[in-house]
Chains A and B, each alone.
Chain A
Amino acid sequence: MIVAGCDVGSLTTKAVIFNNTRIISHALIRSSFDPAKSATEVMNKALDAAKLTMQDIGFCVGTGYGHARIPFVHKSVSEIACHAKGARYLLPSVRTIIDIGGQDCKATRLDAKGNIVKFFTNDKCASGTGRFLEVMAKLLGLELSELGEISAQSRNPINLAATCTAWAQAEVIVHLNTNTPKADLAAGINEAMAARVAILAKAVGVEKDVCMTGGVAKNIGVVQAMEKQLNVPIRRLRVDPQIIGALGAAVIAKEKMGEK
């Protein structure tokens, strides 16, 4: 029995193909303006990698901001539920999930059975979302993926006073003009990012084990800064943190198949 999960995010679209015991394949693409097109494209990519066709998929669950526009799904489930399901599949002891996406962030607390107890979302303010890092990386002339590695070389991270992305941008420009090392800027940016999201995490109540999902979880600088902020270890997941929503959708698809 083969199932699939498809997560159409604002910035990236992800798909996971799954059977009873393992992830058969997964794919990730940059989202286009058309969620239906993104979904079809990423699904074809994942199917190709698994040498399967759409006919082989018994059940497909969709999630993400574009979930309502995915043509081939049997059911849509919220991102919160999918991230929780995906994280718990990989780490059954997980109780707190911090998901930082391209344009939002969410903190979710689960009970011992995996039920959602409390969650908070921020999608109103760019600071505290992946967009903040994207704006800053562009300013520093770095790839988004470089921000984490480069910050490890910092000896003296800058302190960003502003919360607002627009003001923080101005602050970073002043630092660039005074030749502050990029590593120190990147480290300060990662710390600022973690500090904002930590407020959301603290508001839901942090319980161990804690994990991070979403694209920003690939930034080791932010993960380490978050560990410092929350004073708990962040458990690393064994698959790409960016596909956890799609994985959770696939796990839910498998459960739905079982119910039939």
Chain B
Amino acid sequence: MYVAGCDVGSLSTKAVIMQDGDIIASQVIFSKPDPAESAREIMDKVLAQAVLTQADIDYCVGTGYGRNSIPFANAVESEITCHGKGAQWLMPQVHMVIDIGGQDAKAIRLDDSGNVVRFAYNDRCASGTGRFLEVMAGALGVQIQDMGDISFQAKNPVAISNQCVVFAETEIISLINAGKDLADIVSGLHKSLAHRVAALANGVELDREVTMTGGVAKNQGMFTALEAALGLKITPMVKADPQIIGALGAALLARQAVNRAA
């Protein structure tokens, strides 16, 4: 039995194929303006990796902001549910998932079976999402994936006083002009974003253990900044790319649907 999960996000699109209880293929691409096109492309890519065709897939669950535009999805599920499922399957001890995506952030509290107990969500203000780092990377002229490494060279992290993406962008331009060290600025930006995401997470009452999902979780600087902001250790997602957890959760739900039908 082959099942698939497809997560069409605002910035990246992810897909996972599972055979019985194993992940056999996973892929990540940048999203296109058309979510249907993103879904088709990621699916072709992940099918090629697994050496399968669409006809081999017994069931596919779609998720992400573009989930209703996935032409081949048998069902759709919210990202909250999918991130909870995916994280709990990989790490049964996890009761709290913090997902920072390209255009949103979520804090999800789970019960022992991985069901969502409570969650908080921000997609209204860009400054609490991955977009914050994306805009700042642009202003600093660095690649977003390099920000983590850069931040570890910081000696004196700069305090960023503005929360708003628009105002903070101006602020860091003046910091650069004032001759501030790049690493110190980047580290300050991580701290600033971590502070806002921690406020979201504290709103759902933290429960151990905590893990991080989404593309921003790959940024080691953000990871440690969030640990500092929460005042606890976060258990890293080591068994799979944290960016594919939504798609993995979707695939797990697809497996459940097939098993239920059988």
Q: Which A residues are within 8 Å of any B CB, using their own CB? A: 33, 103, 124-126, 131-132, 135, 162-167, 174, 177
Contact = CB atoms under 8 A, between A and B. Distances in A.
Nearest to B128: A164
A166 B135 contact: yes
Nearest to A165: B166
B69 interface: no
A125 B164 contact: yes
A246 to B, nearest CB: 24
Interface in B88-105: 103
A117 to B, nearest CB: 28
B81 to A, nearest CB: 24
Given A163-B124, A164-B125, A167-B126, A135 B164 contact: no
Instruction: Name the interface size band of chain B.
Output: 10 to 19
Given A163-B124, A166-B126, A166-B131, A131 B163 contact: no
Given A162-B124, A166-B135, A167-B103, 12 more contacts: A103-B167, A125-B125, A126-B166, A131-B167, A163-B125, A164-B127, A165-B165, A165-B166, A166-B126, A166-B165, A167-B126, A174-B33
A126 B167 contact: yes
B101 to A, nearest CB: 13
Contact of A166 (B162, B163, B166): B166
A124 B163 contact: yes
Contacts of A163: 124-125
A124 B196 CA distance: 14
A166 B174 CA distance: 20
21 contacts: A103-B167, A124-B162, A124-B164, A125-B163, A125-B164, A131-B166, A131-B167, A132-B166, A135-B166, A163-B125, A164-B126, A165-B126, A165-B164, A165-B165, A165-B166, A166-B126, A166-B131, A166-B135, A166-B166, A167-B103, A174-B33
A236 B165 CA distance: 33
A189 B165 CA distance: 19
Contacts of B103: 167
A6 B165 CA distance: 30
Contacts of A162: 124
Nearest to B165: A166
Contacts of B126: 164-167
A222 to B, nearest CB: 18
A177 to B, nearest CB: 8
A58 B124 CA distance: 50
A103 B161 CA distance: 14
B132 to A, nearest CB: 8
A126 B164 contact: yes
A126 to B, nearest CB: 4
Interface string B118-159: 000000111100010001000000000000000000000000
A253 B206 CA distance: 55
A213 to B, nearest CB: 22
B124 A164 contact: yes
A33 B125 CA distance: 28
